[in-house]
Amino acid sequence: MEDMLFYDRMQFAFTITFHYLFPQLTMGLSLLIVYFKWKFLRTKVDTYNDAAKFWMKIFALNFAMGVVTGIPMEFQFGTNWAKFSELTGGIIGQTLAMEGMFSFFLESSFLGLFLFGEKLLGHKLHFLTGFLVFLGSWASGYLIIATHSWMQHPVGYEILENGKFVLTNFGALFSNPWLLPSYFHNQAASLVTASFVVAAIGAFYILNNKHSNFGKLFLKTGVIFGFFASVIVAVPTGDLVAKNVVKYQPATFAAMEGIFKTEDGGSEIVLIGQPNILEQKLDNKIAVPNILSFLTYQDWNAEIKGLNEFDKSVHPTNIPGLYYAYHIMVGLGTIFIGLLLFAVVQLFRKKLYTTKWILWSLLFMLPFPYIANTMGWYTAELGRQPWLVYNLLRTAEGASPTVSSGNTLFTLLGFIGLYLLLGLLFLMLAGKIINKGPELKNH
Amino acid sequence: MELFWYIVLMTMLTIYVILDGYDFGAGIIHLFFAKKEKDKKAITNAIGPFWDANEVWLIAVGGVLFFAFPTLYASSFSGFYLPLIIILWLLIFRAIGLELRGQINNTLWHTIWDKAFGVASLLLALFFGVALGNIVRGVNLGNVVNGVSTHEGHYFFLPLWNTTFSPQAEELGIIDWFTLLLGVIGVVSLAIHGANWIIFKTNSDLNTKLKKVIFNLNFVLLALVIVSILVWHIIEPKPFHNFIDKPWLFIFPILTFTGLFGLFKVKSFKKDGIGFVFSSLFLFGGITTTVASIFPKVLPSTNTVNPSLTLYNTAADSYGLGVGVYWFAIAAVLVAIYMFIQYKVFKGKMDDIGYGDH
Ligand code: HDD
Ligand code: HEM
Ligand code: HEM
């Protein structure tokens, strides 16, 4: 029984982590492509249109990966989490079905027109189809986060005697206090990913002395969008999601921050340290006093509850994992803001394109927004454990009762193999597109 | 309310089969009949801008099933675990076969993805037919052994096959001779359907040949359908009782046969779209006839301990189903608009509007 659950969890974690590598670029990049196209309509400078076209190629490839890895997600609630689906389907089924009906149809109907219809439609309509694809992908993110928010902070439900959750208030799903901060945080974070990707390719072209005018455009766009997005990720949105966690999941917050014991006279903020679960303390700690109390409650001396105040049965199951995930995300976020600030300053001093160390840093930063996004989701999901629906339904109670571990391990191995192949193909083909570069005018 | 959502779900399922069915069919035709690069291009262009949106119908069917009939979703998805995951893998192969082929210009590369697309389409058609067979045949709900349920009465698990391949064995498998028969019907009927689509949407040189193929396959299909009706009562002792109770339901089998017999005239159709209409009728009639014959059951039980799953005992709560109507109505209108735009822009023959050459 125990390892049956283990493989179900591994499979879900693996497939969703892989899936989310793609939508995070889709959502951010669709905005940037719409921006390029809009600039072209305004200025009629061909470079913008060619830039949009170039990114559309990467977008198409990335989108295809997102679609093929997304469909398994939708099925897995039923295949691996049957009990969870049976009990809560009347509620989370709402938002998931809405996602299919409202956003996936929108995206997929107009994607074909967007990718192949430029000549057929003319530039204005082409811009419109791009905008609709953008809208679809952001709506998709919204409805998924609405689903996820309900699992983190259930609202508008009633539990029947047979354990079933029934919806009592449809509107509550969308006025869930967890939803909007989480949504904007997530969307800003996906824009961070897209901006870094665009900037990194720009830096690559400049360092390589190839397609330099595109390199400059990409670099400039990526750096500016990336800077604003990175700031928004931290304040107000990161701050707001963290406050939600303090309010609704205080034990999770204590574990995220590595606070084992409530401290008198304000909590310090931990920069580095290793959680030591045996002795319930942090080893090798470097911390700044009172900052955490201030950030959380705008009061230097406010009390933040430590893990010692909560019963062991509600402690997150994987405290070190949660702590590291959170600190990696926040640490990277800080680095992003710092680096992009330098880049923006150099841009305004008209020195960005020649400041080698920034170009190299931006190039090497490419994987890190992906890591930060993934760590953010691990923070959310590990923080919710041992619950599937916070405080109401335990993960162990949600798995499929009849699917044995042998079968789950079989499909998990299959997914690992298949996704490895997909990942390799993606890198190879994306590399080819990038290497070829934006096509210069040929008509 | 349950009945409303049942009808919605079945309608969406049929739309899915008719739409993505032609994609699968095109894949099967591609596998067996497309030898020249030109023919392959014609076939992939015929489904090019559509297949992705068609596949969304599957996701939407899954979503609505999850939302309106959560118990059925949970029970059948976990019970049919392995074939469903295999279907997912096949869908992945089909999609990347289509999407990645054109990325690199190399014969070896093309061959790999052509085969991935063709074989995945063939197996998908087979599996969907097998799935329909499983639903008609029913499953051992609650995994009853010696008269005792080993699980809650609405859960079960089926291996891919048992050693006897018999639909009446004590321990059932997903694949037995009955479900396999429906699987083969799936392959043949979708191959015909896909061929009709290709004829409809392209000026390909293949078209004349495809008409012959449709004509011949139609005999096979007719024979298979007759056999399946003959063996049906072995599986379900009173297969027609719903039809006898409500004679208007006979419209569905009549549509099936209209589609089937209509296709025998494929060589003399004046317009290229007519064949597609007939094969759509066949699919529509086939699915509706099948689900009507087990109505109101949605997953029959093969034991006497646990009752069959019906649309009533698997539905979500009434408040949720009620509010769902509002957003669903809006979404349905939007989807209709998108489809209208899509098919309007890509109206006529794909080669005439120059789709695919860029
Ligand atoms: C580029 C990526 C990125 C960066 C730099 C940050 N985040 Fe984040 N964070 C995410 C990407 C992300 C995410 C992947 O998008 C998550 C997962 C769930 C969600 O809605 O957003 C998330 C979740 C998440 C959560 C968990 C919410 C929950 O339990 O559901 C908290 C508390 C924070 N973030 C707080 C922060 C703070 C204070 C940051 C300060 C800089 C920060 N994040 C930077
Ligand atoms: C709204 C979308 C999401 C929903 C509804 C959702 C739901 C779930 C469910 C049902 C589980 C299984 C139970 C468990 O082991 O915790 C789970 C686990 C998990 N999910 Fe999510 N998830 C979502 C998004 C994500 C994303 C985007 C990621 C990562 C990029 C993610 C990462 C994980 C991980 C790592 C686990 C395993 C946690 C563990 O093993 O302790 N989730 N989630
Ligand atoms: C467990 C949760 C999830 C499920 C069930 C799921 C389901 C799906 C499905 C079925 C698709 C393919 C849609 C198509 O054919 O067009 C898809 C793609 C997509 N998903 Fe997910 N997804 C999940 C998690 C997420 C998360 C957490 C996000 C973002 C916040 C997200 C955003 C998207 C977007 C934007 C797409 C469009 C395709 C792409 O961007 O590559 N999904 N998802």
CB A158 within 8 A of CB A166: yes
The model's pLDDT over B226-261, given as tens digits with 9 standing for 90+, comes to: 999 888 877 777 777 888 888 888 889 899 999 998
> Are the Cβ atoms of B320 and A90 closer than 8 angstroms?
yes
Q: What is the ipTM of this complex?
A: 0.89
HSE value, Cβ hemisphere, 13 Å, CA-based, for A143: 20
Nearest of A425, A438, A366 to residue A62 by alpha carbon: A425
> Are the Cβ atoms of B66 and A112 closer than 8 angstroms?
no
The model's pLDDT over B186-212, given as tens digits with 9 standing for 90+, comes to: 999 999 999 999 999 888 888 888 899
A79 touches chain B (CB under 8 A): yes
Sign of the dihedral defined by the CA atoms of residues A402, A403, A406, A407, in that order: positive
Q: What angle do CA A379, A186, A31 make, to 5 degrees?
A: 150
CB B203 within 8 A of CB B211: no
The model's pLDDT over A179-216, given as tens digits with 9 standing for 90+, comes to: 999 999 999 999 999 999 999 999 999 999 888 889 99
Nearest of B32, B12, B342, B61 to residue B192 by alpha carbon: B32
A170: Cα separation from own chain's centroid = 26
User: Chain B, 57-116: which have a CB under 8 Å from a chain A CB?
Assistant: 58-60, 62-64, 66-68, 70-71, 73-79, 81-82, 84-85, 88-89, 91-92, 95-96, 99-100, 103-104
Place of tokens 């009507």: B292
Please list every residue in chain A whose beta carbon sits closer than 8 Å to the beta carbon of residue B55.
67, 71, 108
User: Chain B, 245-264: which have a CB under 8 Å from a chain A CB?
Assistant: none
Nearest of A125, A130, A127 to residue B344 by alpha carbon: A125
> Are the Cβ atoms of B96 and A425 closer than 8 angstroms?
yes
**Which residue puts its alpha carbon closest to atom 9 of ligand 3?**
A70
Residue B260 to residue B258: CA distance in whole angstroms: 5
CA dist B237 → A439, B170, B231, B305, B343 (Å): 66, 17, 10, 18, 44
Pairing between strand A281-288 and A269-276? antiparallel
The pair of structure tokens assigned to A86 is 């049976």
B338 touches chain A (CB under 8 A): yes
Ligand 2 cavity residues, CB under 6 Å: A 9, 12-13, 16-17, 20, 81, 144, 147-148, 151, 374, 377-378, 381-382, 385, 388, 395
Name the average pLDDT for chain A. 91
CA dist A33 → A409, B150, B352 (Å): 40, 55, 30
CB B30 within 8 A of CB B40: yes
- Out of A91, A104, A109, the one facing B342 most closely (by C-beta) is A109
CA dist B24 → A60, B119, B128, B205, B299 (Å): 22, 10, 11, 20, 26
> Are the Cβ atoms of B96 and A68 closer than 8 angstroms?
yes
Residue by residue, pLDDT tens for chain A (443 residues) are 457 789 999 999 999 999 999 999 999 999 999 999 999 999 999 899 999 999 999 999 999 999 999 999 999 999 999 999 999 998 999 999 999 999 999 998 898 888 887 887 888 999 999 999 999 999 999 999 999 999 999 999 989 888 889 998 899 999 999 999 999 999 999 999 999 999 999 999 999 988 888 999 999 999 999 999 999 999 889 999 999 998 899 899 988 888 888 877 778 888 888 888 888 888 888 888 788 888 887 878 788 888 888 888 888 889 999 999 999 999 999 999 999 999 999 999 988 888 899 999 999 999 999 999 999 999 999 999 889 999 888 888 888 888 888 899 999 999 999 999 999 999 999 999 999 888 765 43
Pairing between strand A281-288 and A157-159? unpaired
CB B73 within 8 A of CB A403: no
B8 touches chain A (CB under 8 A): no
CA of A133 to the centre of ligand 1 (A): 25
Nearest of B258, B243, B253, B225 to residue B129 by alpha carbon: B225
Tell me, what DSSP letter sits at residue B173?
Answer: -
